[in-house]
Amino acid sequence: MRSYEVNRSTTETTIALKLTIDGTGDSSIETGIGFFDHMLTLLTKHGLFDLQVDCQGDLEVDQHHSVEDVGIAFGEAFRNALGDKAGITRYASVTTPMDEALSTVSLDLSGRSYLVYQVEGLKDKVGNFDTELVEEFFQAFASNAKVTLHIHNVYGKNTHHIIESMFKGFGRALDIATQKSGRVTGIPSTKGTL
């Protein structure tokens, strides 16, 4: 079973996170940030992972540390749960609609960290959630999972819908890229390592 637990404690956050890649979409998410919990739940459901997150953060300061640190912990758990990557599909590109919004997520489980985030026109807030933290989450994940990640919002008007299309697509792309392929022998790289 491809699974990993992270316990991360700093002066800003205390996080317990457990990820199972080959799950069923079950989640238990508690970060104290309602909209962020909703997005992580969607990611899990559409990625068919099992994810448990308990984050106690300094929300009296703002949401930044909690969102970024969950991204760090999720990326670390993902990298370790994936193991040596033998037999995986490795790449995925998914375009996901959410009502009037459309986003494309493309990724490579390359062992190299890179984020391209082409998203414009988000309102500053969805409820009390700071939307600039969406990029911070994806950057933290990409850096710690060692994944090349491209996110492009093609169009959309409603900020909630735009962000939701990205998180659903991200989950779907991770699911595809992590699948074992009967046609792949060993590590899917001419270098012999990822």
The answer to whether 167 touches 94, Cβ cutoff 8 Å, is no
Task: Map tokens 């079973």 to a residue.
Answer: 1
State the pLDDT at residue 187: 86
How far is it, in rounded angstroms, from Cα 80 to Cα 145?
8
d(CA 185, CA 94): 24
**17-42: per-residue pLDDT in tens?**
999 999 999 999 999 999 999 999 99
Tell me, yes or no, if the pTM score tops 0.75.
yes
Report whether pLDDT(67) > 90. yes
Residue 185 has pLDDT above 90, yes or no: no
